[in-house]
Amino acid sequence: AKGMGKGDWQRYQSDLAHAMVQRLEMRTQLHEAIEGEQFMLQFQPIVELADQRVTGVEALVRWQHPTRGLLGPFHFVEAAEESGAIVGIGNWVLRQALRQIADWKAADPATTLRYVSVNVSPRQFRSPDFVEQVRAALAGAGARPEWLLLEITESLVLKDADKVIRDLRALRAMGVRIAIDDFGTGYSSLSYLRQMPVDVLKLDKSFIDDILTSRQQHALVDAIVTLAGNLDLAVVAEGIEEAGQRIALDTMGCDYGQGYHFARPLWPADIPALTASAQPA
Ligand code: C2E
Ligand code: CA
Ligand code: CA
Ligand code: CA
């Protein structure tokens, strides 16, 4: 490039080589992580806005890296999606999340917890036996299909829409529910919704952030909530950080919420206290 001296060029070359080595290392490490059971799940409560009861939890993957400590998905999900490791990781997440909810249900038959929500990456959804993986994971955990909500993204439907819609129908026919994650950040949006066999819209945090400060943003979210209601879709508002947002969303008729205002992602041991039905008033 212009203005690049010989030293710059050499440094650039070695940075590039370094980045490549890091990528390869990450691939090997992700592979070892699956074998070595280095992944763990945290669970973030999803609450009913009307009474703040915890009726669901979203499973969020973490990687206990041998040298770098506990890593959030930001550090590895993209690399895993690129290398294909996400398929193995995602299937582990699915099985583990279902085992976990089966345990919680068994330990407390009166739990307020109705379902666990599991993120499914596009690559995982498109893997040839995904529907079978779900069936096997349910059977293996002794979990009922109603206990599972699968979170997919809008971008999934942009390619092979027919096949995707067929698989979504097969999953729903089993009794599994489907959510569109990060709704509003993708391309498809409202017009797609009619043809998509889904049950739940998860409204992205970026929509929620400004509802108290921007009239336009408030009006937009209000309109989406109304439209979703007319289409028989439940709405989960993501990233609620303050009481004012909860109250505004509840007033709009939004049924569910998730965010630091209610709870951060938690380790499994912390969930039962939040879902015991005899909550002290
Ligand atoms: P997501 O599906 O949108 O998950 C919600 C993310 O927002 C979580 O981050 C959660 O900790 C964070 N969050 C929740 N409430 C609040 C809030 O009030 N304020 C703020 N600032 N953040 C909040 P996390 O756990 O780092 O996950 C990031 C993303 O990684 C997820 O975004 C999801 O796309 C992906 N991910 C997580 N687990 C899995 C998995 O098992 N499989 C796949 N394919 N992707 C996953
Ligand atoms: Ca999600
Ligand atoms: Ca989301
Ligand atoms: Ca998001």
The ipTM value here is: 0.98
The alpha carbon of 104 and the centre of ligand 3 are apart by a number of angstroms equal to 24
CB-based neighbours (< 5 A) of ligand 2, an ion: 119, 151, 181
Instruction: Kindly report, residue by residue over 134-158, the tens digit of the pLDDT.
Output: 999 999 999 999 999 999 998 888 7
Of ligand 1's listed atoms, the one at least distance from the Cα of 60 is 38
Alpha-carbon separation of residue 172 from 7, 31, 176, 193, 270 (angstroms): 59, 32, 5, 16, 30
Q: What is the pLDDT of residue 23?
A: 80
25 band by pLDDT with thresholds 50, 70 and 90: confident
Residues 123 and 86: beta-carbon distance below 8 Å: yes
SS3 per residue for 249-269: HHHHCCCEECCCCCCCCECHH
In 10 A of CB 262, how many CB atoms? 18
Q: Is 114 left (phi over 0), alpha (psi -120 to 50) or beta?
A: alpha
117 lines ligand 1 (CB under 6 A): no
pLDDT, one tens digit per residue, over 202-227 is: 999 999 999 999 999 999 999 999 99
Mean pLDDT is lowest, of 98-102, 166-170, 189-193, for: 189-193
- Ligand 1 pocket member 265 (CB < 6 A): yes
Mean pLDDT, residues 239-260 taken together = 98
Distance 33 CA to ligand 4 centre (A): 25
Nearest ligand to the C-alpha atom of residue 239? 1
Q: Is the pLDDT of residue 3 over 80?
A: no
The answer to whether 213 and 183 are in contact (CB under 8 A) is: no
- Nearest ligand 1 atom, CA 81: 44
For the record, the structure tokens of 15 come out as 């940075």
Q: Under a CB-based contact definition with an 8 Å cutoff, are residues 170 and 131 in contact?
A: yes
* CB-based burial, 122-160: b 16+ in 10 Å, e otherwise: bbbbbbeebbebbbebbeebebebebbbbbbbbebbeee
Banded pLDDT at 180 (limits 50, 70, 90) = very high
Is 239 touching ligand 1 by the criterion CB < 6 Å?
yes
Q: With bands split at pLDDT 50, 70 and 90, how would you rate the model's confidence at 114? A: very high
pTM here?
Answer: 0.93
The verdict on the CB of residue 77 being under 6 Å from ligand 1 is: yes
